[in-house]
Amino acid sequence: MTRADGTQVQFIQQVRVLDAVTQSDRVVDVLVQDGVVTEIAPSITVIPASAEMIAGEGKVLLPGLVDFYSHSGEPGYESRETLESLLAAGQAGGFTRLGILPDTEPAIDHSAMVEKLLARRQTIAQTDPSLPHCHLWGALTQGAQGQQMTELAELAAAPIAGFADGRAIQNPLLVQRLLQYLKPLGKPVALYNCDRTLRDSGVAREGPFSLIYGLVGDPASSETAALAALLESVAEIGTPVHLMRLSTARGVELVRQAKERGLPVTASTTWMHLLFSAKDLGGYDPNLRLSPPLGNPEDQAALIAGVKTGVVDAIAIDHTPHTYEDKTVGFPSAPPGAIGLELALGILWDAFVVNGDWSPLTLVQALSTNPAGCWGQSPPTIQAQQPAEMILFDPAEHWTVSTATLRSLSANTPWLGKAIPGRVVRTWVPPL
């Protein structure tokens, strides 16, 4: 509510506040004035008369979520997703910061494109300041095609979050050269590890279920061989690297060993690889066709344990919109990827927090605190005298996923038509 002097005031009463930065989990009153958390206490007795009263019972106040990497359809594929619909989807899912991969058309491989997209976000946000901030990845290679490196120094001078292609670079010598050139630039680097020669035409992780379902297998070595080679380059050159889309048990083990060796690496998996395995492919749902493919059950278990122990630092959404026509084909022919920004928090909370597998703070750490840290950013936190970058989440509210309820333009998700738990009811995003 706005007071006569123009001040925005909200009073959230008796809400459960989770903050991984301070490792706190408590029920308190929270007062927010002009986008700043001014007071947190077990009971606040002095409340401005004009404050908007928000009931917090049964709800959870979380730091804003941070998605390390997802895909925008704009520019080039606006029928799948515009920047406006992507931001709206992120807002609906509780994300206050969105990492956008550079594989647009044209790609984000020069500073002019960076400036154009950030200006576009500012224009969109004029109508709704609570939309997420965009953090753009600059392409490592021209067109994000993995052939020839971009003007790295020029891109580093632009307001990018870091460097990534979002696609696997097949030339190991090029990867080495990139790490050498990038080291003095001091920007985050994210790499997807996949040997496409070993993958061949595989569409499901090789194992008993690929055989049972008659799907061409993609061996785990397509990930681990590329990952092992990259880790040797990191050991030799010393450039910090984020390892994207970890999907195998052996990959988790390689990351654990690398961290024990003191290598400067962080790692993430996607939310879908935590919730599904190759065992779930029997229905041939094209929305479960992902890259990398869903792992076998032992891979899924290792990823879940990796998030719990911190070997896997972050959970990425890797939101990948496709049109109905894109996905209405046979499983092997479907383009890989699924949407998830609006769905992930409630489904992950229900799958891992409600059943006690993870503490609530483990989920907050993996969806908010650690992704920001991988960028070298200050993480969202809920503390007095700090800007309000937070979300109010109702884990008990159920809603049905449909084209009418989704903010994304695309609906390529296995939950389409199903009721799911958890909904974000309010978002606070500080100005840039």
pLDDT mean values, one per 10 residues, the chain (432 residues): 60 98 97 97 94 97 98 96 98 98 97 96 94 98 97 97 97 97 97 98 98 98 98 98 98 98 98 98 98 98 98 98 96 98 98 96 98 97 97 98 98 98 97 82
Per-residue tokens: 101: 């991969």
Please say if 5 is a catalytic residue.
no
Rg of the chain's alpha carbons, rounded to an integer? 21
Read off the pLDDT of residues 252-302 as tens digits, 9 standing for 90 and up: 999 999 999 999 999 999 999 999 999 999 999 999 999 999 999 999 999
Query: pLDDT tens digits, residue range 331-375?
Result: 999 999 999 999 999 999 999 999 999 999 999 999 999 999 999
Domains of the chain: 63-386 (3.20.20.140)
Query: Do residues 153 and 185 touch, judged by C-beta distance below 8 A?
Result: yes
User: Which H/E stretch holds residue 188?
Assistant: none
Give how far the C-alpha of residue 193 lies from the chain's centroid of Cα atoms, to the nearest Å: 17
Please list the alpha-helical segments (H only) found in 126-220. 152-157, 172-182, 196-199, 208-212
Catalytic position from the list 25, 313, 318, 394: 318
In the beta sheet, which residues pair with residue 24? Answer: 19
Helix (H, G, I), strand (E, B) or coil at 400: strand
Please name the residues in contact with 322: beta carbons below 8 A apart, sequence gap of 6 or more: 80, 335, 337, 410, 412
Record the pTM: 0.96
C-alpha span between 295 and 221 (Å, rounded): 12
Alpha-carbon span 99 to 269, nearest angstrom: 15
Query: Smallest Cα–Cα separation from 278: which of 349, 357, 215, 198?
Result: 215
- Chain segment 204-235, per-residue pLDDT in tens: 999 999 999 999 999 999 999 999 999 999 99
Q: Where are the beta strands (DSSP E) in 112-252?
A: 133-138, 162-163, 190-192, 204-205, 217-218, 241-244
